[in-house]
Amino acid sequence: MNHKKTIAPLLLSALAVSSCGGGGSGASLDFDFNARPTYLNDIRQTTYDGVGDDLLTAGMGRTGLQDDQAPGYEGAQPTTEELRRNAIYTNYRALVDTTTAGGYGTLYGPNIDAQGRVGSGEGKVAGLEAIAYSDDGTGRRNITLMVQVPDGFDRSRPCIVTATSSGSRGIYGGISTGEWGLKRGCAVAYTDKGTGTSPHDLQTDTVALVDGTRTTATLAGTRAAFNAGLSAADLAAFNAATPQRLAFKHAHSGQNPEKDWGNATLQAVEFAFYVINERFGDRSPGGQPLRSFQPSNTTVIASSLSNGGGAAIAAAELDTQGLIDGVAVSEPSVQLPANAGVTVQRGGRTVAVNGRPLIDYVTQAHLYQSCAALAPSLASTPFAATFAIRFADPAFPAAANRCAGLRAQGLLTATSTSAQAEEALARLVSYGWEPESGALHASLAAFEVAPAIAVTYANALSRSSVKDNLCGYSFATTSSIGAVGPTPPAVLADMFSTGNGIPPTAGVQIVNNRSRGVPVRDVFSFNTAGVPTWNLEGALCLRNLLTGTDAAAQRLQAGLDETRRNGNLRGKPAIIVHGRDDALLPVNHTSRPYAALNRRVEGSASRLRYIEVTNAQHFDGFIGLTAALPGYDSRYVPLHVYLNRALDAMYDHLVNGQALPPSQVVRTVPRGGTPGDAPAITAANVPPIAATPAAANAITVTSGAISVPD
């Protein structure tokens, strides 16, 4: 148990002042002044009144966040305030289902208070927002950090929650986690962890600043959120050879940002301490702010989801200063050691392939998923029928040709498309995907999720420059038939708000530079024989970077090793929640083996709990897309509910001494009904995390092994 000491800052200040004044004793005291971290550059602070604008909803309230119409812009050049408002709108809706039937406004949302009570208000939160870069002075890193401090910050029970961005998103990419902290009266520490949404448009040589506004690379200088770093000669040569291309920070910074996600999260916490002490800390007799709030008297929970959750775990592993008290994360992306030596079982059956890193299983998905999506056994799953019409029609059989191409490469053996698709599906299951994940393959393949991640992470891990065109891939805006063209200024201006940092995004597509004839959008490209195979050659090239021995492969493999975690949470209490059906970050490669590794590393000192949620998957935001993705609503419950509950449990453990819940499977109840028109969710669909789970739901974790019931 890790109770925080509650120290009254004002009392400490009074004692400090009295000890250094009067009495003739000559006593003196060195004040602990609030020093600004040296890596912070250009801190900007804005206060929001909670009426016209606010920390959580940018003035839109819960009603505006739910509105299908984005707030938009009044003029041709978006203002800083407009960009922020649209960024919060886009990111919040990307992370959670904002339909009433899906639980918004009843189970979660701005009108739900910290105790889970449903209110009728708009949920706006007044307070201070401070934003800055973390950099070494060169402008090459420029990791964005942000702190939100609500006016209701509880000085008697101070707390900080991290909300590192998910995916490759920008600074508001963890806003749905930040919501929990703001409601608790906690400061929220955000970081984009060296990723971000705004590209360097190489043709016009324009970049974004920290607030999303754009200018020329020359005028921005070291203030650019991201500059691809090409010399004038290289830029001219690149534009001549491959015009109208875009560089993105996660893919093309040359920094391998994932290796530093933990440090970026820790710096966000340090920034939060600095900001709250500037605002609420005691003052010396000379009026200088003191470090009244410190790790010793402030509860700090590292949290977030997906990549942000993985960053929270990395931060806890790296935390030698004792900044973090506990961890509560959802569906984290964690890269295990190369030979983790762990065993994963489900229902008594050993999962042969587990604990692989993201670049491994995502390049496997890139090879097989578009073929597997045609499996007859998946015909009734979301988007499967539409996928077959788009990509298996004789007029453009890209997915069917992918199946045939895999057979020609010796990667499948079946002879018919349907049999090849079933074989491809079986290959994914044997590589660690749960059978329940199969229902998601068609929609994820259609949205090009695996190629998007494979291309971006291969570039990032190998520290490739945009000019390298790794495996023949690039990023550009394309027409409806896939032709490369210029990115409209209005689209560029808005990308800070509407992009996700990893193409396809906001009209920017993955381009196959090696397509027969001319470069075109990847999914529409042709191989050297003039056959559309969804760029099988590119997928094989990316896979070879993991398995091969050439220079590019060695660079990627070295970069991968820099991102691996060690499983040592330093005895910190932690809760991981993960959806069993997750097809993006399969549980057998992430949370399950990490729990086993942590127990092997920490032994009896481990305080990690693993909560696996049935009928839950990676993209809560897809559940509400009932017109585009009918069937998500009838099949899946929001995992966001369980992240909130994990945060509740961790806070109660740290502050009130409540016991952590044991590791367990939570068996939810799908909404059912007609796909696209499922009945409204109720509390019965999302049962609580049990204080004492039934034996049939208990997860057993021993040294290097985890056993999960069916």
Answer yes or no: are the C-beta atoms of 658 and 605 closer than 8 Å. Answer: no
Candidates 174, 75, 157; CA nearest to 114 is: 157
R_g over Cα of the chain = 25
Distance of alpha carbon 80 from alpha carbon 82, whole angstroms: 5
How far apart CA 568 and CA 262 sit, in angstroms, is 13
User: 141 vs 265, 426, 539, CA distance in Å?
Assistant: 14, 42, 30
Q: What is the C-alpha to C-alpha distance for residues 345 and 700, in angstroms, rounded to an integer?
A: 10
Neighbours of 133 (CB within 10 A): 21
**Cα first-last separation, the chain:** 31
Going by the DSSP 8-state scheme, the letter that residue 379 receives in this structure is T
Q: Are 658 and 130 in contact (CB under 8 A)?
A: no
Question: Buried b / exposed e across 582-602, counting CB within 10 Å, b at 16+?
Answer: bbbbbbbbbbbbbbbbbbbbb
Q: Is 306 a catalytic residue?
A: yes
DSSP string computed for 96-115: S---TTTTBTTTBSTTB-TT
Q: Once rounded to an integer, what is the mean pLDDT over residues 654-673?
A: 98
Q: What is the Cα–Cα distance from 267 to 137, expressed in whole angstroms?
A: 16
At 18 the pLDDT is: 35
How much is the average pLDDT of 236-265? 98
Q: How many CA atoms lie within 13 A of 432 on its CB side?
A: 25
Give the SS3 label for residue 344. Answer: strand
Q: What is the pLDDT of residues 21-42, one digit of tens each?
A: 333 444 556 899 999 999 999 8
H helix or E strand, kind and range, residue 621: helix 620-623
Q: Round to whole Å and give the CA distance between 94 and 620.
A: 8
Give residues with Cβ within 8 angstroms of 406, minimum separation 6.
367, 368, 371, 412, 420, 424, 536
Total residues found in the chain within this entry: 710
Instruction: Categorise residue 67: left if φ over 0, alpha if ψ from -120 to 50, beta otherwise.
Output: beta
Strands 705-708 and 700-702: antiparallel
**Residue 13 pLDDT > 90, yes or no?**
no
Report d(CA 255, CA 545) in Å as an integer.
18
Nearest to 509 by CA among 489, 527, 525: 525
**Per-residue tokens: 489:** 């200024």
Q: What is the pLDDT of residue 8?
A: 44
* CA–CA separation, 665 and 662 (whole Å): 10
The catalytically annotated residue of 198, 306, 333, 465 is: 306
**Angle CA 448–450–453, to nearest 5:** 105
**Which of 457, 475, 473, 458 is CA-nearest to residue 545?**
458
Cβ–Cβ < 8 Å for 44, 83: no
469-486 per-position pLDDT tens digit? 999 999 999 999 999 999
Task: At 280, list the tokens.
Answer: 């609420």
- Which H or E run contains 130? strand 127-134
Residue 209 tokens read as 């600043």
- Amino acid, res. 202: L
Nearest to 534 by CA among 520, 521, 523: 523
Which residues share a beta bridge with 188?
148, 161
On average, the pLDDT of the chain sits at 95
Query: Which pLDDT value is given to residue 76?
Result: 87
- Contact 494/506 with Cβ under 8 angstroms? yes
pLDDT at 6 over 70: no
Tell me which residue of 655, 3, 4, 11 sits closest to 290, measured CA to CA.
11
Q: What is the pLDDT of residues 418-451, one digit of tens each?
A: 999 999 999 999 999 999 999 999 999 999 999 9
Adjacency order of strands within the sheet including 214-216:
214-216, 206-208, 200-201, 246-247
**Going by DSSP bridges, is the β-strand pair 200-201/246-247 parallel, antiparallel, or unpaired?**
antiparallel
| 3-state SS class at 541 | helix
Give the span between the Cα atoms of 247 and 274, in whole angstroms. 33
Number of Cβ atoms within 10 Å of the Cβ of 370: 34
pLDDT at 9 over 50: no
- For residue 661, is the peptide bond before it cis, meaning its omega torsion is within 30 degrees of 0? no
Closest by alpha carbon to 281, among 190, 182, 153? 153
Q: Are strands 299-305 and 159-162 parallel, antiparallel or unpaired?
A: parallel
**Per-residue pLDDT at 7:** 42
DSSP output for 573-596: EEEEEEETT-SSS-GGGTHHHHHH
Q: What is the DSSP string of 208-269?
A: E-TTS-EEEHHHHGGG-S------HHHHHHHHHHS-S-EE-HHHHSSS-GGGGHHHHHHHHH
**Alpha carbons 483 and 487: distance in angstroms, whole number:** 12
Cα gap 291→30, rounded to integer Å: 12
Angle at 444 between CA 406 and CA 686, to 5 degrees: 135
Instruction: Answer yes or no: are the C-beta atoms of 200 and 226 closer than 8 Å.
Output: yes
Question: pLDDT tens digits, residue range 260-310?
Answer: 999 999 999 999 999 999 999 999 999 999 999 999 999 999 999 999 999
With a pLDDT cut of 90, the percent of the chain lying above it is 95
Rounded to whole angstroms, how far apart are CA atoms 430 and 427? 5
> Are the C-beta atoms of 219 and 209 separated by less than 8 Å?
no
Angstrom CA distances, 63 to 59, 83, 98, 104, 122, stand at 10, 19, 10, 10, 7
pLDDT tens-digit map of 100-110? 999 999 999 99
| Paired residues of 677 in beta bridges | 674
- Per-residue DSSP letters for 638-672? -THHHHHHHHHHHHHHHHH-PPPPPSEEE------
